[in-house]
Chain A
């Protein structure tokens, strides 16, 4: 997919902000993105807002405050991939010729603690079978069987991402941690310790998409949206993000992430070997390693080896989560995917200072969660 470019990005930092509303954060991010894109009132024909906990007409509240209403404003909920879903809809509408310029933003103010979800039936909560960390832990434990992942590897994912995030002013945690500190934090669900889990939090991110109108203009290419795909799950995997109560003894059911990544690579006419930088879902440390395998950054079973090789650290062959990932930034569901896109746009423009991936030209963003929903976005320069 070509023909859609990123005209501007903006972000409200991810963290905890007492007294700052969801709308306040959205206004901050949208204003920044529109300013960067030099788009003002009347300059965009539609807006898509990703949010999971924002409530009725979250997007309207943000754009009302900015005096920018009248066009269609559509809230999009796709769990952790809400921002990716919004981006896919916006890009599709531009490609179809419906709009020239579309505003996409994501906002969230998460409840504190373990994420409670209306997804589950009350009896599942009562029986303790709706507990998010336990599902993460079961997936992590399977990785120890299929991929030789150890607790030390899980700790090293955290060490890497927190090191990357230390220079990210938009991250919730900007302090490095050692493997010893990670392993000394309390066990939440074996094999996951507290520091291996990201914090649900608050934040906003915004992106302005526009039709590529450069024509024969020899000006430097802006960042291009080469692919934006959302996929749901196929049934059969008991530990899928669709969180069923049962599945089949069939290990060949492709994950929603694999479905989305395969389609996004096809759309962009690129493959995993072309990538220079990746932001992937690291809700917990094991999730990042699963993402390596499901996106195709390594062969099945190869995630621990890829991590240990240093390839996915800054300075390595394919840095993953240079922003610090969700482990550093925290996870505001509706904003997290667009937060990744903001980071990757800045990486492709060479604006990331100490955490810059030198010469990055092809970037991939990946989010996956409840639904299941998996979003994969590919950006090029």
Chain B
């Protein structure tokens, strides 16, 4: 029976309060996403699994207007960099695909959103970030 599957296990939890699955290095304190078994910054082994904050701010953004090779979702779609309070920046989908509707430093929150339906009819979902309490964009003449 068709269901809902994540685009890749181990990146985020699905459900009412989704979270990104990261890790933290006990030696240098750096946070990672996705989880690492060796710290990429100081090479210490065995970083601790952690859940990352679902709230951040927008640091860079664009929209992809033509489907790149292998991509199975709709176009255009938003892609950006969101900065989290743990001191990391991550590459993510954005729920907004109109770059003019976004602003530097805007408050963003984690969402899990549909990406496409796979061959078995499953809904494939991915992590994304959406503006917090953003009013609907207003068309100005």
| A interface residues (Cβ-Cβ under 8 A, vs B) | 113-114, 116, 121-123, 125-134, 137-138, 141-142, 145, 186-191, 235-236, 238-239, 244-250
CB-CB under 8 A from B22, the residues of chain A are: 246
State how many angstroms separate the Cβ of B73 from the closest Cβ of chain A.
Answer: 6
Interface residues of B in 49-89 (CB under 8 A from A): 60-73, 77, 79-81, 83, 87-89
Which B-chain residue is minimally distant from A242 (CB atoms)? B40
CB-CB under 8 A from B81, the residues of chain A are: 138, 238-239
CB-CB under 8 A from A247, the residues of chain B are: 88-90
Q: From A114, A127, A132, A238, name the one whose CB has the most chain B CB atoms within 10 angstroms.
A: A127
Determine if B32 is an interface residue (Cβ-Cβ < 8 Å). Answer: yes
Determine if B93 is an interface residue (Cβ-Cβ < 8 Å). Answer: yes
- Please, how many angstroms separate the alpha-carbon atoms of A243 and B28 in the complex? 22
Asked if A245 and B65 make an inter-chain contact with CB atoms under 8 angstroms apart, the answer reads: no
Given contacts A114-B69, A189-B65, A238-B91, contact A246 B32 (CB under 8 A): yes
State how many angstroms separate the Cβ of A102 from the closest Cβ of chain B.
Answer: 35
The number of residues on chain B lying at the interface, defined by a beta carbon within 8 Å of a beta carbon of chain A, is: 40
Asked if A187 and B65 make an inter-chain contact with CB atoms under 8 angstroms apart, the answer reads: yes
**Neighbour of B99 across the interface among A133, A190, A245, CB < 8 A:** A190
Asked if B73 and A127 make an inter-chain contact with CB atoms under 8 angstroms apart, the answer reads: yes
State how many angstroms separate the Cβ of A134 from the closest Cβ of chain B.
Answer: 5
Interface residues of B in 90-110 (CB under 8 A from A): 90-91, 93, 99, 104
**Neighbour of A245 across the interface among B33, B60, B72, B87, CB < 8 A:** B33
Given contacts A141-B61, A142-B60, A189-B65, contact A129 B79 (CB under 8 A): yes
A-B contact pairs, 16 of them (CB 8 A): A123-B8, A126-B70, A126-B116, A127-B115, A127-B126, A128-B68, A129-B93, A131-B68, A138-B81, A186-B65, A189-B63, A238-B89, A245-B90, A246-B33, A247-B88, A249-B87
Asked if B64 and A127 make an inter-chain contact with CB atoms under 8 angstroms apart, the answer reads: no
CB-CB under 8 A from A133, the residues of chain B are: 64, 68
Asked if A134 and B62 make an inter-chain contact with CB atoms under 8 angstroms apart, the answer reads: yes
Q: From B65, B80, B104, name the one whose CB has the most chain A CB atoms within 10 angstroms.
A: B65
Asked if A248 and B93 make an inter-chain contact with CB atoms under 8 angstroms apart, the answer reads: no
Asked if B69 and A126 make an inter-chain contact with CB atoms under 8 angstroms apart, the answer reads: no
CB-CB under 8 A from B66, the residues of chain A are: 188
Asked if A126 and B79 make an inter-chain contact with CB atoms under 8 angstroms apart, the answer reads: no
Asked if A235 and B83 make an inter-chain contact with CB atoms under 8 angstroms apart, the answer reads: no
Which B-chain residue is minimally distant from A247 (CB atoms)? B89
Determine if B48 is an interface residue (Cβ-Cβ < 8 Å). Answer: no
State how many angstroms separate the Cβ of A82 from the closest Cβ of chain B.
Answer: 21
Which A-chain residue is minimally distant from B100 (CB atoms)? A190
CB-CB under 8 A from B62, the residues of chain A are: 134, 137-138, 141, 189-191
State how many angstroms separate the Cβ of B114 from the closest Cβ of chain A.
Answer: 12
Asked if B7 and A127 make an inter-chain contact with CB atoms under 8 angstroms apart, the answer reads: yes
Which A-chain residue is minimally distant from B67 (CB atoms)? A128
Which B-chain residue is minimally distant from A188 (CB atoms)? B65
Asked if B89 and A245 make an inter-chain contact with CB atoms under 8 angstroms apart, the answer reads: no
- Please, how many angstroms separate the alpha-carbon atoms of A7 and B27 in the complex? 51
Which A-chain residue is minimally distant from B74 (CB atoms)? A128
**Neighbour of A131 across the interface among B30, B64, B99, CB < 8 A:** B64
Asked if B65 and A131 make an inter-chain contact with CB atoms under 8 angstroms apart, the answer reads: no
CB-CB under 8 A from A125, the residues of chain B are: 68-71
- Please, how many angstroms separate the alpha-carbon atoms of A199 and B34 in the complex? 32
